[in-house]
Chains A and B, each alone.
Chain A
Amino acid sequence: MLFFKKKAKNIIKPTLEDRIIDTTIFIFMIIVLVITLYPFYYTIVLSFNEGIDATKGGIYFWPRTFTLDNYKQFLSDASWINAIFVSVAKTVIGTCLCVFFTCMVAYGLSFPGLLFKKYYGIMLLVCMYFSGGLIPYYLTLRALGLLNTFLVYVIPTMFSIYYCLLAVAFFREIPFDLYESATLDGAKDITIYTRIIIPLSKPLMATISLFAAVGQWNAWTDTAFYAPARKELRTLAYLMRDVIMRNQIDTSASNASQMAAAKYSQVTSQSVQMAAMIIAVLPIILVYPFLQKYFVKGVMLGAVKG
């Protein structure tokens, strides 16, 4: 960047080619921005518009008949509230477990001069590239008695090889002298890990936390595959999928049934769905800008090393 700025000022005037390319890039980027952002914006607009009114179409940039009913309806539904609760619990517990456990293993692996490192590495790589597939995995979870329990959300995701390799690459950058001087001061391994390594690894922890949390928050297949029998374990993402699938069928049939169903209110399942979608995306959009500087670094770290 610096180079281009300098060049533009000192070295040479932009040529015709430069201008054409700059304009093309600018237009292209505007298109990317619009295509990426407009669908979200459209969803927000629909979520604030009366449901029945929205089915008439023609809403593009702002709500025609503004209402908060969709959100009220959403928040008055006990199953949605329960789903939010499960999703939050799953995300918080799952993320903490994943970050804590994965980083612990990674710290062990990154220890300089670790014996048998080669064999540990082989096992990690084999497990990264091979898997038994859905069925044997399901049968294993079943044998462990994890199916249809809350634990099936957080235990199997506790360790991730990908995050582990990322963390190993990060820990290797921490000078070993720190460890040695702490040992001389009489610190135990666990103390060193919790008092020195963890505080030094905030960018790494932030990256892994974001990935793990987003994964947990967005996952619906774990409910659908491993915990379908217990209604109280349903997550926001899973319920959302249910509603979206139902609406899709409605759309293909006709609006008549939907109109009839919503006879007593101005709310349709479609408009509530829009509100639900916004609520489901909100935490991600709120957290994302703060963690962005970390995860870009984190991804690059993984890319360079791995």
Chain B
Amino acid sequence: MKTKVVTKNETFKKFKKQYTMHIFVWLGLLFLLIFSVVPMLGIVVAFKEYDIRSGFLGMFTGEFAGFKYFIQFFTDRKFETLLRNTLMISVLKLIFSFPLPIMFAIMLSEMKGNGFKRIVQTVSYLPHFISWVIVTGILFSFFSTTRGVFNEILVNWGIVDEPIPILMEAEYYYGLAVSSEVWKEMGWNAIIYLAAIAGIDPTLYESAHIDGAGRLQRIWYITLPSIKGAISILLILAIGGLLSSANFEQALLLGNSMNISRSEIIEVYVYKKGLGLGRYSFAAAAGLIQSIISFILVLSANTISKKLSNTSLF
């Protein structure tokens, strides 16, 4: 009993000493409460007959609609296309844009001499800082069928007879989305691997060298196993973010009426129906389904990785 009182007093004393810090933290939490927690609670609109005129509290007081909007989304004639595009683009991006930065980082770390290496590194980060709007503009001027460099060269060199309508035909969209993503983010995503490689003990390489291991063998038996941890964690993160990696901004900017059958993803649909047409409950329901799928994906990736390599996020 006595000790308890003492601890309580001590806690209070400690708190008194650090109360300014707590105020700092509370301000942050207040921010999260308003801009993060309230929207989370706002998910109820997906289950309500929500009318924008009923204002903010209408989200909570509105008539209960049950799973009506979820069923509407599942039976929407576009549902299959949306799900297919979202999954296909995400998976293709995972397949191509996940291993490439690893490869790039290893190659970069194998380079001798500092000057050229630093130039390549600096240049490779640059596109990460350029907006998708600019990237889209560049893509349009590059691949345009009437005056783009790409098609001009192909036609002039006789590789194709007709310019390839990369931006306008649905069948090219997946390739366009994946390759522009790789172009933009490869160098940036390599940073973490470069850090991991820099942390490898050089004596490992030396002793392997003395034992007669060639360059490739050293990469295979030392570099790769040493960065396995980093690879697993990033893979879990990538799978967790799989659906959002379909990239809303990219899809909205590169999508057009000609390639819509391949470019429209769930998030774009949510935006069009929700903010565009004011079907808030329906759009919220569609958005929630996307979040649920993502959540299941990250949980399963985490479990698998825990079993395989003992690495996990939580």
Contact = CB atoms under 8 A, between A and B. Distances in A.
Interface residues of A, number: 105
Contacts of A240: 133-134, 137
B49 to A, nearest CB: 14
A244 B11 contact: no
Contact of B120 (A29, A107, A140, A296): A29
B303 interface: no
Contacts of A158: 31
A2 to B, nearest CB: 8
A220 B136 CA distance: 13
Interface stretch (B18-26, B70-78, B91-99): B18-26
Interface stretch (A70-78, A88-96, A198-206, A284-292): A284-292
Contacts of B249: 221
B133 A244 contact: yes
Contacts of B43: 132-133, 136
B131 interface: yes
Contact of A39 (B38, B131, B138, B248): B138
Nearest to B28: A105
B145 A251 contact: yes
A261 interface: no
Contacts of B288: 133
A243 B84 CA distance: 30
A98 B126 CA distance: 23
Nearest to B26: A108
Interface string A126-154: 01001111111111101110000000000
Contacts of A281: 130, 134
B135 to A, nearest CB: 9
Interface string B111-146: 110101001101111110111111011101110111
Contact of A4 (B45, B112, B134): B112
Given A218-B133, A299-B191, A251 B146 contact: yes
A35 interface: yes
Interface string B9-34: 00100110010111111011101101
A163 B47 CA distance: 34
Contacts of A156: 35
B225 interface: no
A158 B27 CA distance: 11
A247 interface: yes
Question: Which of B20, B131, B206 has most chain A Cβ within 10 Å?
Answer: B131
Nearest to B44: A136
B152 interface: yes
Contacts of A111: 18, 21
B183 A35 contact: yes
Given A140-B38, A288-B126, A115 B14 contact: yes
A57 interface: yes
B205 interface: yes
A1 B31 contact: no
Contacts of A130: 40, 291
A237 B230 CA distance: 35
A184 interface: no
A282 B223 CA distance: 38
B112 A8 contact: yes
Contact of A135 (B14, B22, B167, B270): B270
Pick the 5 closest A-B CB pairs, nearest first.
Answer: A136-B42, A108-B24, A132-B39, A105-B28, A143-B56
21 contacts: A1-B114, A15-B215, A17-B216, A32-B104, A33-B120, A46-B141, A102-B28, A109-B24, A114-B18, A115-B15, A127-B37, A132-B38, A134-B270, A134-B271, A134-B275, A240-B134, A240-B137, A248-B140, A280-B133, A284-B129, A300-B195
